[in-house]
Structure 1
Amino acid sequence: MAAVRVEAVLAAAEEQEAEKRRSITVEKELELEYDLGNLLAVDRNPPPAAALRGAGPRREALLQALARDNTQLLVSRLWELPAERAGGAGGPLVAQLPEPTFRLPREKPPPKPRPPTRWEQFARLKGIRRKKKTSLVWDEQAKEWRRRWGYRRAGGDPSRAWLAEVPAGADPEEDQFARLRREKRERVARNELNRLRNLARAHRAGSAVPAAPLHPTGHQDRDELRRVARVARVSTASLGRFQPRLPKESAEPPSRNSGKKRRFEPLLGNLAAERSRQLELLRDMGSKKPVLDITRAVNKQLRQEEAEAAAANKGKKQSKRGKRGRRQQRPGRSGKKSGARRQPQQKKAAGGGTGAGRRKKA
């Protein structure tokens, strides 16, 4: 076994002690700028340019050491903040962060203003202003303040009351509780339909792209002239199939739906987009809330309503035609005419029968 020198042991002990001191003590020429509200630390000290040139283990080690030192300084500042125990004496130690001073940029663009509903447009046209109501009202029955709308509202749900008043002029034998429940279901369905219609109208208004204007001046560029020629060609009855082509014009007839083609994502190269798509797919599959296609649902509802209206109108027309036809029919005269027509035919047939019998006898 080789002998261990005392100098080597002392040097190793000094390195270990220096590493321990380095874990909590960091010295910088320029002090860092801190924003503890955002957990941000800005280092203005220039890094050594010679060590950052090229790529290699030396550069990676330098960057890791720089990140570690700045993180240590930030954590040391966090320990200086006032702290308290969350959830009692045995809870974790939580620091009280100050208000942030550095304004971070938005990750996403600001949301677009919501398009007005039909009622908002009507109210704006008529000058109707919305009056703000308090959310709590006094309930005389419960003798307490309750919400104006929603669960446990003031006055309660009329369909769940133990007594229902029969309105004037109504059938006394009608079940008033069933009527109230039916009216409530109709109101809920009507409100949901109006909500879907507002969403569909807003979707159509947001997706509609206005056509590019065509200016008949003498300063059009090449793209505008090409667009004008395509519009003029497609405007014919044959959609430009039998129109003479211009010089340097493609042989294929322009389509009416010419525009942006479908673009497919590349199969290789963009790993970030592929990862985000897969995560979004897994999130949709794992969520309990179903994904609702609002445009498709609204279009289906509108088609169903149009079909029901058309069927109702068709039934009314058929019933009117049937009544008109029954009114025009006169069973008495038709019976007399039919009997009058049958009598000469019977006589003629009888006479013919006797003549035929005589000839056979002869």
Structure 2
Amino acid sequence: MAACSIEDVLAKVEQEEAEKLKSITVHKELDLELDAGNLLAVDKNRVDEREFKRAKKDEFLRALARDNTQLLLNEVWKHPTERVEDVIVVKLPEPSTPLPREKPVPKPKPPTKWEQFAKLKGIQKKKKTNLVWDEVHKEWRRRWGYKRAKDDTKEWLIEVPESADPNEDQFAKRNKAKKERVAKNEFNRLRNIARSQKLKVPGVGLAPAGRQSRSELAQAVGVAKVSTASVGKFQDRLPKEKAPKNAGKKRKFQPNIGDFAGEKQKQLDILKVLGSKKPRLDITRAVNKQMREEDMEAGAKARKGSGKKGRSSHMSGKGKGRKGPKGPKGKPRKQGKR
């Protein structure tokens, strides 16, 4: 074994460490165009084709990316820094390179009905504080949400108004009124969305409005009648009310329990049809179809023959304007059996 000096070992170790920790100084023929605001680096240097072909492509590209990233980081650390929660943060400048948007600029939302009314009346929106003083608990509380001020839902006692029924449940009445308010707000929200998308407003023609046409009233009445458990089967009609048009039929399903014999026979019939090689022929249906086709052909021939006869009589001038034998006063005569 060849003797190896300590100096050679140390030099080899230093060389390996230098390869692992490369210098932060990178030399380029042309300076990179750096945009620290966008963390963008543009390298316009020419790629050496010989070195690219001689070395491995992945290693060459990795080394090139490392050098350019090092130059970009050197530019980033030239800007002022600050410490935020034991982390050093760099204040990036404003970007100088305009980049295209990935998606188009969002269109402005159309104003809601309330915004249109506020603009017409000159109502300005005033920002309210989130905290208000609660006289009951003697502390500042949120205006809305959990543990809000003046929360009447936590009261265990409610005063009954003089005009109200003493036996009426005021707690249930309050809960019902709240559900109605929530439903009304949700309906208005959906109606605003539908109006902005130029779609049909949900429930149009069903809710009472100031002016309703005859068709809207008829639609509302029809929906109200079929909203029962029997789908309007036992609902009485007005004297001159017409039957609803396009009334859908209630679907019928086979029972899930019971009648196992009928279900078994039905499945056997399906398997028999699928397993048979000969096509299943419905003789009655085929005969009826043939008879209908023959009747249609005979009717077409009769209409064709009557059309020719009428044209010939019209051209000859006979029977012009005559529809049949008429009696006195232009009335058709009654003919008996021959």
Higher helix residue share: 1
**Structure 1 length-normalised TM:** 0.46
**Structure 2 length-normalised TM:** 0.49
Question: With CA pairs under 8 Å and 6+ residues apart, which has the higher RCO, 1 or 2?
Answer: 1
